[in-house]
């Protein structure tokens, strides 16, 4: 799209239009006046004025030699060269009008235009022939891709001014001479990768307002063709747009994929690398895959290098020659390379925005702090994400040049193994006049723009496109040809107005391929028909009857899918019988039936702020399997005989029947822990089974708390790690479901109590099923953090004066507890340090033991245990159902698992993907509601602590709300200047504030990690978006 701020330049390749009856050569004076009135370009006007002067000289009797001398003076042609200036335009590289020999009427403007057009046509013909010759020789034409997918040729990317023309010609000659090619108007580089890097360099040299205007129109750099010495373009933007369509149909934009056989052989020979593609959400043209040797990630530069692969896809890449590798600076790139580019993209996004006006369960918490915060996949739309987190930042010492430069391997995609991305996107429709399709513009810039048939669009879209400017649609990609810059797709749904919670939520779910549809009848047919359902007598006879035991649940107050319960009975010898009882979901979900198939696909329940997307039908989740109070329920139980100090003396696994006596919330249990001597009344608690007095329940909670504290102490003394991070919770209006308030979720002793026994049950089950099924067991490992990243973190902490021991999980945990002080901001410093420590961490993963031969790889780093699995949440995790089946088979109380080792591994991998998606969707839901809260209740003031410093911005943790935001220095009001300084890994900014009055001196503010600042959260113009504004030092919150 042409920018409205840029004048349309004249196209001198065409003859002037003539009306019937006009002579082929109109009078010069009329032509001059007509052109001057039609074209308001200052350059064109200057040219016409100069032309008039030349014409005047000629009329005064000066011959062609005089005109040539005048023209030579303007072009600064040396005297010794002037004799070589040709008189015939066909032999000249100078397109000046005074060099045109007149016939008939001397120097006629129309004759000049005709000759210029003829010359341009001849050059176009020669250029096309030259390109064809090079293509036949196997050389690729150099291209680069703009933001909206357009391919620009090397010639089109020239951005020369008239004074640069001769320099440009010399540079062109050098380039082509060095490549062994004849001089040509087309610039040929080594690859599309190199050309894109040149383009980014040119983009940086543009004036800021021009760069932002061009980017805001959805394209990269829109530069004109090479200009003549007078500043005239040889083609117009209009013609360029018209020719793009023709080029798309004939030119191969992307390389063809390798065949499966070629890929297989390449992987075996080590010539190709397989990995998961991660696209930088802040800079969509950057992508990465992990390096097999755990060094710096491999870099994919540009859309062409990605070859139609999308974020999350499993791809095979070919590493490019070393001369095409990316040069990075170890002192800056590892902490946020090219941050100034991120600043530009932030500003462009701001312009675009102006233009387009349930609490987690206890055993989830430990997984949240164990999981790698895979910052590219799980922070797709988080504006606080730092560049360092999306970029591989490990230094591969084998790629350090002698001059100290560090090289990062670059590659291109040659094959897509698995399309993990849903190929669905949320976005907006743009009307394209005179086109049989509309342009779908995704909200996520990593998704390509999509051509959508007009037949898919609303009926009145072509006549009233403005009515849909703020309407969200869902589009699915159906094809992306190698010859097209744009994907093809179909609209699947109209969501509603952008900025409303339900349309935005549905868009998030669709983009991440979360199945939120109603369960089909075939699934419901697998459930019991006779309701209310009762346990069959024959099933009762096969199970241990625990209905008379004091068993209760502890869950969030709003929870309805209660899948775990606890019991604790003191024995005569002073020890305790402690039981963990888990809903027996595998009894209802038979292997290989329709219900099982759907559950295996969904793999997990997804918890949003306002609702849950269940893995299983609600009849199971909230009724038949839920351990509701005063109801007989089927369970799997693990019962230990345990000492008060937490030493396990005996262990029992088996299927059972329980009857919960009360549903306690975490608040109820916390009150009992905090008031051990209090006599609770029935009014203070939910309904209680009269068989079990309140005092008995209270004492059981206290005993469990005491044992849990000892178990916890043993775990951490044994080397376990916990990385606590702030979690934001909301209070919602019961009718509108809009946020009324928000708060930081408090993790208390009641949460720790439940977590400790869930961990104990999971560890015990992992040992049991691995002993019984060493080739089939589904376990969960947590790989250790990346060593080089830990070394970098250790160096940074040393320079910050923080005494942190990163040698092991246990050592790190102790450091987090003991080294950050005990003042009112120690918790904030711990949160910041926890965030820094989470970066090197890897993801915890499900796996099948038969697929991993080295038992040392089974270890769970954060828990510091050799075997771990998930057993305690089968209502919301499919992995737990497989574990239940294995457990039942090992106890001879269930059929043998019909899955092979490979099939278990495949399901484990799918569960990993869905867990990552679930976590990310939960984060986006929270961001969505907080954005609404800021809009409705803001602006919000808070203290914030600096988490990271870049060269033009810094990240902060907003302490009152637990959110992370980036503050750009150039966006700070009343800031006079800022200066960046970096020593080693330590980075700091000095901000100079403009004095509030003429008598005051400028105020300096130093920003470094752990600096306290005051910020204000304020809603942006774009729906659901908000920014953190830095306040002047001394201003009160």
Q: Which pLDDT belongs to residue 1036?
A: 56
| Predicted confidence (pLDDT) at residue 134 exceeds the cutoff of 60 | no
| Predicted confidence (pLDDT) at residue 200 exceeds the cutoff of 60 | no
Identify the sign of the CA torsion 754, 758, 761, 764.
negative
| Predicted confidence (pLDDT) at residue 250 exceeds the cutoff of 50 | yes
Confidence of residue 53 (pLDDT cuts 50, 70, 90): low
Q: Which of 201-215, 281-295, 328-342 has the lowest mean pLDDT?
A: 201-215
Q: What's the pTM? A: 0.71
d(CA 16, CA 22): 12
Cβ-Cβ contacts under 8 Å for 147 (sequence gap 6 or more): 215, 218, 219, 220, 284, 445
Q: Which pLDDT belongs to residue 64?
A: 47
The per-residue pLDDT for range 402-459, each reduced to its tens digit, is: 566 788 999 999 999 999 999 999 999 999 998 999 999 999 999 999 999 999 999 9
| Predicted confidence (pLDDT) at residue 778 exceeds the cutoff of 90 | yes
Confidence of residue 168 (pLDDT cuts 50, 70, 90): very low
Q: Mean pLDDT across the chain, nearest whole number?
A: 78
Identify the burial level of 144 via C-beta atoms within 10 angstroms of its C-beta, where 0-12 means exposed, 13-18 middle and 19 or more buried: buried
d(CA 385, CA 347): 16
CA atoms within 13 A on the CB side of 135: 12
Q: Which pLDDT belongs to residue 788?
A: 83
Cβ-Cβ contacts under 8 Å for 698 (sequence gap 6 or more): 672, 680
The per-residue pLDDT for range 797-839, each reduced to its tens digit, is: 998 888 899 999 999 999 988 877 778 888 889 899 999 999 8
CA dihedral 450, 454, 458, 462 (to 10 degrees): 110
CA angle, residues 552, 555, 559, in degrees to nearest 5 = 115
Identify the burial level of 242 via C-beta atoms within 10 angstroms of its C-beta, where 0-12 means exposed, 13-18 middle and 19 or more buried: exposed
Q: Which pLDDT belongs to residue 674?
A: 96
CA of residue 114 relative to chain centroid, distance: 53
Q: DSSP state, 724?
A: -
| Predicted confidence (pLDDT) at residue 768 exceeds the cutoff of 60 | yes
Give the position of tokens 């600043």. Answer: 343
The arithmetic mean of pLDDT across residues 3-12, rounded, is 40
Confidence of residue 211 (pLDDT cuts 50, 70, 90): very low
729 phi/psi in degrees, rounded to 5: -120, 160
| Predicted confidence (pLDDT) at residue 90 exceeds the cutoff of 50 | no
Give the position of tokens 């790190």. Answer: 812
Fold of 938-1030: OB fold (Dihydrolipoamide Acetyltransferase, E2P) (2.40.50)
The per-residue pLDDT for range 582-606, each reduced to its tens digit, is: 999 999 999 999 999 999 999 999 9
Higher-pLDDT residue of 211 and 573 is 573
CA dihedral 852, 853, 854, 857 (to 10 degrees): 10
d(CA 923, CA 485): 32
User: Binding residue per annotation — 564?
Assistant: yes
Distances (CA, A) of 944 to 690, 796, 829, 965: 50, 21, 11, 10
Q: Indicate where the chain has its CATH 2.40.50.140 domain(s).
A: 938-1030
| Predicted confidence (pLDDT) at residue 122 exceeds the cutoff of 60 | no
Question: What is the helix (H) or strand (E) element at residue 224, kind and residue range?
Answer: none
Confidence of residue 83 (pLDDT cuts 50, 70, 90): very low
How are beta strands 487-497 and 450-453 bridged, if at all?
A: parallel
CA angle, residues 848, 895, 650, in degrees to nearest 5 = 75
> Hey, which of 83-97, 515-529, 985-999 has the most confident mean pLDDT?
515-529
Does residue 910 contact residue 600 with C-beta atoms inside 8 Å?
A: yes
Higher-pLDDT residue of 997 and 524 is 524
The arithmetic mean of pLDDT across residues 549-573, rounded, is 96
Q: DSSP state, 259?
A: P
Cβ-Cβ contacts under 8 Å for 823 (sequence gap 6 or more): none
Q: Which of 787-796, 847-856, 1008-1017 has the lowest mean pLDDT?
A: 787-796
The arithmetic mean of pLDDT across residues 458-470, rounded, is 92
CA of residue 362 relative to chain centroid, distance: 28
The per-residue pLDDT for range 944-982, each reduced to its tens digit, is: 999 999 999 999 999 999 999 999 999 998 899 999 998
| Predicted confidence (pLDDT) at residue 656 exceeds the cutoff of 90 | yes
- What are the residues facing 144 on neighbouring strands? 152
| Predicted confidence (pLDDT) at residue 506 exceeds the cutoff of 70 | yes
Q: Which pLDDT belongs to residue 1024?
A: 82
Identify the burial level of 145 via C-beta atoms within 10 angstroms of its C-beta, where 0-12 means exposed, 13-18 middle and 19 or more buried: buried
Can you say whether residue 646 is alpha, beta or left, with left for phi > 0 and alpha for psi between -120 and 50 degrees? left
The per-residue pLDDT for range 998-1026, each reduced to its tens digit, is: 888 889 999 999 999 999 999 988 878 89
| Predicted confidence (pLDDT) at residue 387 exceeds the cutoff of 90 | no
For 388, the 3-state DSSP assignment is: helix
Strand boundaries in 34-160, DSSP class E? 143-145, 151-153
Number of helices (H), then strands (E), belonging to the chain: the values are: 27, 36
| Predicted confidence (pLDDT) at residue 772 exceeds the cutoff of 50 | yes
For 454, the 3-state DSSP assignment is: helix
| Count of C-beta atoms within a 10 Å radius of residue 951 | 21
Does residue 782 contact residue 863 with C-beta atoms inside 8 Å?
A: yes
What is the percent of the chain where pLDDT is above 90? Answer: 57
How are beta strands 314-319 and 272-276 bridged, if at all?
A: antiparallel
d(CA 620, CA 508): 26
The arithmetic mean of pLDDT across residues 316-336, rounded, is 73
Does residue 323 contact residue 190 with C-beta atoms inside 8 Å?
A: yes
Q: Which pLDDT belongs to residue 73?
A: 47
What is the percent of the chain where pLDDT is above 70? Answer: 68
Q: Was domain 422-512 assigned CATH 2.40.50.700?
A: yes
Q: Which pLDDT belongs to residue 74?
A: 44
Cβ-Cβ contacts under 8 Å for 713 (sequence gap 6 or more): none
| Predicted confidence (pLDDT) at residue 491 exceeds the cutoff of 50 | yes
Q: Which pLDDT belongs to residue 531?
A: 87
b/e burial code for range 107-139 (CB count within 10 A of at least 16 → b): bbbbbbbbbbeebbeeeeeeeeebbeebeeeee
The per-residue pLDDT for range 103-117, each reduced to its tens digit, is: 343 444 444 445 445
Q: Indicate where the chain has its CATH 2.40.50.700 domain(s).
A: 422-512
User: Binding residue per annotation — 573?
Assistant: no
d(CA 669, CA 704): 11
Confidence of residue 57 (pLDDT cuts 50, 70, 90): low
Q: Which pLDDT belongs to residue 225?
A: 36
Q: Which pLDDT belongs to residue 16?
A: 42
Token representation of residue 144? 């680069």
């Amino acid at each position: 799209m042409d920018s409205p701020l840029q004048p349309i330049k004249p196209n001198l390749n065409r003859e002037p239009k003539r009306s019937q009856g006009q002579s082929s050569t109109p009078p010069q004076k009329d032509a001059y006046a007509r052109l001057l009135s039609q074209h308001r370009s200052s350059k064109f006007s200057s040219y016409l004025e100069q032309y008039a002067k030349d014409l005047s000289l000629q009329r005064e009797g000066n011959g062609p030699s005089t005109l040539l001398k005048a023209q030579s003076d303007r072009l600064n042609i040396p005297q010794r060269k002037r004799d070589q200036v040709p008189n015939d335009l066909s032999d000249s590289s100078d397109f000046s009008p005074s060099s045109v020999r007149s016939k008939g009427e001397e120097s006629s403007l129309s004759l000049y235009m005709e000759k210029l057009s003829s010359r341009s046509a001849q050059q176009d013909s020669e250029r096309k022939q030259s390109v064809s010759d090079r293509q036949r020789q196997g050389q690729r034409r150099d291209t680069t891709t703009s933001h909206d997918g357009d391919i620009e040729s090397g010639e089109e990317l020239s951005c020369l001014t008239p004074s640069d023309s001769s320099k440009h010609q010399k540079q062109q000659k050098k380039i082509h001479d060095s490549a062994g090619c004849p001089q040509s108007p087309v610039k040929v580089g080594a690859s599309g990768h190199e050309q894109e890097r040149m383009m980014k360099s040119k983009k940086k040299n543009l004036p800021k307002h021009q760069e932002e205007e061009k980017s805001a129109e959805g394209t990269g750099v829109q530069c004109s063709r090479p200009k003549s010495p007078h500043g005239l373009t040889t083609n117009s933007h209009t013609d360029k747009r018209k020719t793009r369509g023709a080029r798309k149909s004939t030119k191969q934009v992307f390389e063809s994929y390798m065949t499966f056989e070629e890929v297989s052989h390449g992987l075996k020979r080590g010539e190709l690398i397989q990995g998961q593609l991660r696209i930088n959400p802040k800079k969509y043209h950057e992508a990465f895959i992990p390096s097999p040797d755990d060094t710096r990630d491999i870099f994919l530069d540009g859309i062409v290098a990605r070859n139609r692969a999308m974020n999350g896809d499993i791809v095979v890449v070919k590493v490019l020659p070393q001369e095409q590798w990316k040069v990075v600076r170890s002192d800056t790139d590892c902490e946020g390379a090219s941050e100034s580019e991120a600043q530009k993209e932030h500003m462009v996004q701001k312009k675009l925005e102006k233009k387009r006006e349930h609490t987690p369960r206890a055993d989830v918490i430990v997984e949240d702090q164990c999981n790698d915060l895979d910052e590219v996949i799980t922070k797709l739309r988080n504006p606080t994400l730092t560049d360092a987190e999306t970029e591989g930042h490990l230094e591969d010492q084998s790629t350090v040049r002698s001059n100290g430069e560090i090289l990062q391997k670059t590659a291109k995609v040659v094959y897509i193994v698995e399309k993990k991305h849903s190929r669905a996107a949320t976005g907006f429709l743009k009307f394209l006049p005179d086109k049989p399709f509309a342009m779908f513009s995704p909200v996520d810039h990593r998704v390509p723009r999509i051509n959508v048939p007009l037949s898919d669009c609303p009926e009145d879209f072509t006549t009233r496109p403005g009515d849909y400017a703020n309407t969200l649609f869902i589009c699915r990609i159906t094809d992306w040809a190698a010859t097209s810059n744009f994907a093809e797709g179909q609209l699947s749904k109209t969501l509603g107005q952008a900025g409303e919670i339900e349309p935005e939520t549905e868009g998030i779910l669709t983009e991440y391929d979360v199945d939120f549809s109603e369960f089909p009848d075939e699934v419901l047919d697998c459930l019991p028909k006779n309701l209310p359902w009762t346990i069959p007598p024959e099933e009762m006879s096969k199970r241990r009857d625990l209905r008379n035991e004091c068993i209760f649940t502890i869950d969030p107050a709003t929870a309805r899918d209660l899948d775990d319960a606890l019991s604790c009975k003191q024995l005569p010898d002073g020890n305790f019988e402690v039981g963990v009882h888990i809903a027996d979901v595998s009894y209802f979900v038979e292997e290989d039936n329709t219900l099982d198939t759907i559950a295996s696909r969904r793999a997990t329940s997804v918890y949003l702020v306002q609702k849950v997307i269940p893995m299983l039908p609600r009849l199971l989740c909230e009724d038949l399997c839920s351990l509701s109070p005063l109801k007989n329920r089927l369970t799997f139980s693990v019962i230990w005989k345990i000492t008060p100090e937490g030493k396990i003396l005996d262990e029992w696994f088996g299927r059972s029947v329980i009857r919960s006596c009360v549903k306690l919330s975490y608040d109820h249990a916390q009150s009992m822990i905090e008031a051990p001597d209090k006599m609770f009344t029935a009014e203070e608690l939910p309904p209680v089974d009269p068989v079990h007095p309140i005092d008995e329940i209270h004492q059981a909670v206290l005993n469990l708390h005491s044992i849990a504290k000892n178990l916890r102490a043993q775990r951490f003394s044994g080397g376990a790690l916990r990385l606590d991070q702030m979690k934001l919770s909301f209070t919602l209006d019961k009718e509108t479901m809009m946020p009324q308030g928000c708060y930081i979720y408090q993790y208390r002793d009641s949460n720790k109590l439940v977590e400790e026994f869930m961990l104990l049950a999971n560890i015990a089950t992992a040992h049991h099923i691995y002993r019984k099924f060493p080739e089939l067991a589904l376990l969960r490992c947590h790989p250790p953090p990346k060593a080089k990243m830990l070394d970098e973190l250790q160096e940074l902490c040393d320079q910050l004066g923080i005494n942190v021991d990163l040698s092991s999980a246990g050592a790190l945990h102790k450091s987090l507890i003991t080294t950050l002080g005990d003042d009112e901001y120690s918790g904030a410093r711990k949160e910041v340090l926890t965030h820094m420590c989470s970066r090197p961490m890897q993801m915890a993963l499900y796996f099948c033991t038969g697929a991993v031969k080295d038992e040392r790889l089974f270890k769970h780093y954060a828990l510091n245990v050799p075997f771990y699995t998930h057993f305690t949440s089968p209502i919301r995790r499919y992995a737990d159902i497989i574990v239940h089946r294995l457990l039942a088979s090992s106890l001879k109380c269930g059929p043998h698992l019909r899955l092979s080792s490979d099939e278990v591994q495949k399901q484990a991998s799918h569960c990993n993907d869905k867990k990552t998606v679930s976590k990310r969707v939960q984060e986006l839901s929270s961001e969505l509601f907080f954005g609404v809260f800021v809009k409705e209740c803001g602006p919000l003031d808070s203290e914030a602590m600096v988490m990271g410093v870049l060269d033009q911005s810094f990240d902060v943790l907003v302490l009152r709300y637990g959110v992370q935001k980036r503050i750009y220095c150039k966006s700070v009001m009343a800031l006079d200047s800022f200066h960046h300084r970096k020593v080693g890994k330590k980075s700091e900014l000095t901000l100079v504030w403009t004095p509030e009055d003429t008598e005051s001196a400028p105020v300096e503010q130093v920003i470094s990690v752990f600096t306290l600042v005051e910020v204000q959260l304020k809603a942006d113009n774009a729906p659901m978006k908000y920014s953190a504004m830095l306040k002047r030092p001394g201003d009160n919150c």
